[in-house]
Amino acid sequence: MEHKILLNPGPGTTSRSVKDALVVNDICPREEEFGTLMHEIVNGLKVIGNAEDEYEACLFAASGTGAVEAMLTSALDETKKVLIVTNGAYGIRMKQICESYGLPHETIHAFGEYPDRDRIKEKLVGGTFTHLAMIHHETSTGMMNPLKEISLVCNEEDVTLIVDAMSSFGAYPINLKELNIGYLAASSNKCIQGMAGLSFVLFHKDQVQHLQKNSKNFYFDLHKQWKYLKEKGQLRFTPPVQVCYAFKQAIDETLEETVSKRWERYKQNWQVLYDGMSELGFEFYLPDEQQSKILIAIKRTGILPKGFDHFHDYLYERNITVYPGVIPESDTFRMAVIGDLQKSDLEYVISEIRSYLKN
C-alpha cells in the first residue's frame, strides 16, 4: 500500500495497523462481543478527554456534522438560548443547524475575527443566554479559539458550554472536567486518526436530565442513543461494524502515543510546514499568535501562477493531497498536519513544493 500524505483537514492519513483493523471476522453488531467493543470505545474517548466518572459518551454512525447536530438539537429547545461564536465556516454551520430547527440563538464575531473575552462576557452578563456554542479549532481558518478563557466566562455566568472540537480532540490536550464543558463533539477520522464514519458527543452527567426532555430529533437523539448504548451495548441503528474496530485500534494508538506526545508531534510537523512555506515565499491568512499548529490557511495570490488545481495535481501525483480554502474574499488553500504523519513526511512535502515552484 502506498503511503499517502493527506494534508486535507481529515480524514487524515491512518497507520497501517488502523487499516489492518478493518479486516475482521464478520459479526452481527447485536452480539455481546461487539457490545464490549462499543463500551471500550466509549471508555477510551472519556480517557482521551480526561472525562472519566463525570461524563457520558455517545456514538453515532455519521460524519462529524451529525454529532454537532445531535449535540445542539438535544441540548437546546425553544426555552433556551445559545450564543454562537461564528468566526469561521464551522461556527456558521452551528448557526445553520439552529436555524433549521428553530432553536433560539444569537451570533457573535465575524469570519476570521479572534474571539474577544470581554465582548462575550458582556453578552452573557444579561442572563438571557443559557448556552454558549463554539468551535475549538476553527478548521476553516486554522485559528485556535481561546477555549479556556471562554470556559471561564461561561462558568462565571453559569452558562453551559458546547464545544465542537472536531479537529483538535485527540491531539490538543483537553480536560473536560477542568474546563467544565457541558458538551463536546468530535469524529473518528481527524486527530484520533481512525477511519471516517463515526462521530461522538461527550457530555456532563448533569446534562442527562435536560437531554431527556429536549430532543427534537429522531435519529440524532442524544439521550435515546446514549441510554440504548449504556443499557444494551448497542447503537440503536446499524453501525459501520469494521469502522468501529478500526476506531478502537486508533483510540488505543492515541492512548499509547499519549495525547501530549501527539500534540508535540503535530506542533513539530506544523513548524516544518510553516518554516518551509515561509522560506518559499508564501504568506499566511492568520497572524502567528492565532495559529492552531494543526492547520495553516495559506495565501496563494501571486505565487501560484498556474492556479491551485495545477499545484494540487502536481502534488497529488506525488502522493500529497492539499486542500482548497473556504475563507470568503480571500484566495487561500489549506494544509493540515492531522493524521499519522512524521517530520520526514512534511520535509518531503516542502521539497516537492520547492521543485514545483522551480518548474
Ligand X SMILES: Cc1ncc(COP(=O)(O)O)c(C=O)c1O
| Residue 90 contacts ligand X per CB under 6 A | yes
Least distance from C-beta 295 to ligand X, angstroms? 9
Which amino acid type is present at position 108?
Answer: I
User: Smaller CB distance to ligand X: residue 129 or 323?
Assistant: 323
Distance in Å, CB of 233 to ligand X, minimum: 25
Of residues 343, 189, 201, the one with CA closest to residue 270: 343
Minimum CB distance to ligand X smaller for 139 or for 215: 139
Q: How far apart are CA 188 and CA 294, in angstroms?
A: 17
164 lies in the binding site for ligand X (CB under 6 A)? yes
CA distance 45 to 29: 20
319: how many CB neighbours lie within 10 A of its CB? Answer: 15
Minimum distance of ligand X from residue 253's CB (angstroms): 20
**Dihedral-angle region of residue 85 (phi above 0 means left; psi in -120 to 50 means alpha; beta otherwise):** beta
Alpha carbons within 13 angstroms on the beta-carbon side of residue 245 total 16
Q: Build a one-symbol-per-residue string for 45-74: x at contacts with ligand X by CB under 6 A, - elsewhere.
A: ------------------xxx--x------
Query: In the bound complex, what is the minimum distance in angstroms from residue 196's beta carbon to ligand X?
Result: 7
Cβ-based nearer residue to ligand X, 164 or 340: 164
Residue nearer to ligand X on the CB measure, 139 or 269:
139
Number of residue whose CB is nearest ligand X: 64
Stretch that binds ligand X, among 51-59, 108-116, 161-169, 329-337 (CB under 6 A): 161-169
Binding residue (CB under 6 A) for ligand X from 167, 215, 249, 254? 167
| Burial (CB count within 10 angstroms: exposed 0-12, middle 13-18, buried 19+), residue 115 | buried
Query: Within 5-24, which residues bind ligand X (CB under 6 A)?
Result: 9-10
**266 lies in the binding site for ligand X (CB under 6 A):** no
Rule CB under 6 A: say whether 193 interacts with ligand X: no
Beta bridge partners of 191: none
Pick the stretch among 120-128, 141-149, 160-168, 240-248 that binds ligand X (CB under 6 A).
Answer: 160-168
Q: Is 142 in the site for ligand X (CB under 6 A)?
A: no
Measured from the CB of residue 187, what is the shortest distance to ligand X in angstroms? Answer: 5
**Angle, alpha carbons 254-242-169 (nearest 5°):** 30
Query: Per-residue DSSP letters for 72-111?
Result: HHHH--TT--EEEE-SSHHHHHHHHHHHHHT--EEEE--T
Question: Whole-number minimum distance, CB 64 to ligand X, in Å?
Answer: 3
Choose among 126, 81, 127: nearest CA to 107. Answer: 81
| Dihedral sign for Cα atoms in the order 300, 191, 165, 196 | positive
List the one residue from 133, 135, 163, 349 that touches ligand X (CB under 6 A).
Answer: 135
Sign of the CA dihedral 95, 82, 145, 13?
Answer: negative
* Among 306, 252, 272, residue whose Cα is nearest residue 5: 272
For ligand X, the closer CB: 167 or 215: 167
Q: What is the distance between the alpha carbons of residues 250 and 21, in angstroms, rounded to a whole number? A: 9
139 near ligand X (CB under 6 A): yes
254: contact with ligand X by CB under 6 A: no
Nearer to ligand X, 166 or 286 (CB): 166
User: Cβ(145)–Cβ(111) under 8 Å?
Assistant: no
Q: How far is the CB of 262 from ligand X (least distance, A)?
A: 17
By the criterion CB under 6 A, which residues form the site for ligand X?
9-10, 63-65, 68, 90, 135, 139, 164, 166-167, 187
